[in-house]
């Protein structure tokens, strides 16, 4: 069995989105446009309300999925189909936009730590115009496994040592773990060879790989090579990271702002449909 090594390291690039929310973008940048099927990864994290107070007011999506994982703070979401709720620290929303939704994601606090991730996952052509679907999970609905060496694994999607993640029925058969690894301890996990995989460190640092382990520090994304086994060792103060993997779709990607389709014609159609109020 081959152990995956680090293929590319990408430092989160500071940018802003929505109504001025400060964030670090690693996927969906000039360094890496996308890692099929993953289109974008944003880490947001600030104790200063100025950095997030504007939130993400009403905006549309079509053709892919947005996944929000809150670490700290509370985000309120509402959409044009009448769905709404609050995303609590440790909670997850996996939204399949399908043919289209218009939603908002707004902080429910004016100050204090707000931290989390947004990941965009592509949909195959056959599912881009499907019905929108939400999977919302409160923090206690995300299974947490504590291994013998003290590693904590929150299983958002996929399967860790027989524990299935909360999220189900996603086209790209994703894995999404939050792994909290103590100093010097080892974490291993097998991901099917044909899947793309990456890690993103958000606390401490880790070493990734077996033949030539590479150090990956906070706010850095490590794209992994082909292989099966993933091997990570916690740095001096330990490390916390998300591990994300999924089956590549291998179709043309046409993206513009909040729409991700296969052709430019389909993007134009998305704008027309949105303007015509058909979302
Ligand atoms: Fe959104």
Whichever domain contains 150, its CATH number is: 2.60.120.10
Please, are residues 195 and 246 in contact by the beta-carbon 8 Å criterion?
yes
How many Å lie between the centroid of ligand 1 and the Cα of residue 68? 9
Asked if residue 29 belongs to a domain, the reply is yes
Asked if residue 1 belongs to a domain, the reply is no
Going from the C-alpha of 205 to that of each of 66, 221, 239, 271, the distances in angstroms are 27, 11, 5, 42
Pick the closest to residue 194 from 241, 231, 249 (CA basis). 249
Mean pLDDT for 87-112 is 95
* 273 CA to centre of own chain: 27
Residue 125 has pLDDT above 90, yes or no: yes
Mean pLDDT for 152-162 is 98
How many Å lie between the centroid of ligand 1 and the Cα of residue 92? 14
How many Å lie between the centroid of ligand 1 and the Cα of residue 83? 14
How many Å lie between the centroid of ligand 1 and the Cα of residue 102? 8
Alpha carbon distance 168, 174 (integer Å) = 9
Residue 64 has pLDDT above 90, yes or no: yes
How many Å lie between the centroid of ligand 1 and the Cα of residue 179? 25
How many Å lie between the centroid of ligand 1 and the Cα of residue 60? 7
For residue 189, count other CB atoms closer than 10 A to its CB.
Answer: 21
Mean pLDDT for 125-141 is 96
| Range(s) of the domain holding residue 42 | 6-275
pLDDT in tens, 4-45: 999 999 999 999 999 999 999 999 999 999 999 999 999 999
Mean pLDDT of the chain: 96
pLDDT in tens, 36-60: 999 999 999 999 999 999 999 999 9
Asked if residue 262 belongs to a domain, the reply is yes
Handedness of CA 124, 258, 203, 115 (dihedral sign): negative
What global pTM score does this model have? Answer: 0.97
Residue 81 has pLDDT above 90, yes or no: no
Peptide bond into 37 cis (omega under 30): yes
Mean pLDDT for 102-127 is 95
Residue 208 has pLDDT above 90, yes or no: yes
- Quote the number of domains for the chain: 1
Alpha carbon distance 78, 57 (integer Å) = 10
Residue 257 buriedness (CB in 10 A; 0-12 / 13-18 / 19+): exposed
């Amino acid at each position: 069995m081959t152990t995956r090594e680090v293929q590319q390291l990408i430092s989160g690039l500071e940018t802003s989105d929505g109504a001025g929310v400060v964030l670090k973008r690693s996927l969906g940048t000039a360094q890496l446009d996308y890692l099929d099927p993953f289109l974008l990864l944003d880490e947001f994290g600030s104790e200063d309300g100025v950095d997030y107070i504007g939130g993400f007011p009403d905006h549309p999506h079509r053709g892919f999925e947005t996944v929000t994982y809150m670490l700290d703070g509370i985000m309120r979401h509402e959409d044009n189909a009448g769905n709404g709720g609050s995303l609590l620290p440790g909670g997850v929303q996996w939204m399949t936009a399908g043919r289209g939704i218009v939603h908002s994601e707004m902080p429910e606090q004016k100050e204090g730590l707000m931290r989390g991730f947004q990941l965009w996952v592509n949909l195959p052509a056959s599912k881009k115009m499907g019905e929108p679907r939400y999977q919302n999970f409160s923090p206690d609905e995300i299974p947490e496994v504590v291994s013998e060496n003290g590693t904590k694994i929150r299983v958002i999607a996929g399967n860790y040592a027989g524990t299935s993640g909360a999220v189900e029925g996603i086209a790209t058969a994703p894995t999404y773990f939050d792994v909290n690894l103590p100093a010097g301890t080892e974490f291993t996990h097998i991901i099917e060879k044909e899947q793309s995989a990456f890690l993103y460190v958000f606390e401490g640092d880790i070493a990734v790989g077996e033949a030539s382990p590479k150090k990956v520090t906070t706010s850095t994304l490590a794209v992994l090579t082909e292989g099966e086994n993933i091997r990570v060792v916690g740095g001096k103060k330990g490390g916390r990271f998300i591990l994300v993997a999924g089956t590549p779709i291998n179709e043309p990607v046409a993206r513009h702002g909040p729409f991700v389709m296969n052709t430019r014609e389909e993007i134009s159609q998305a704008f027309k449909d949105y303007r015509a109020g058909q979302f």
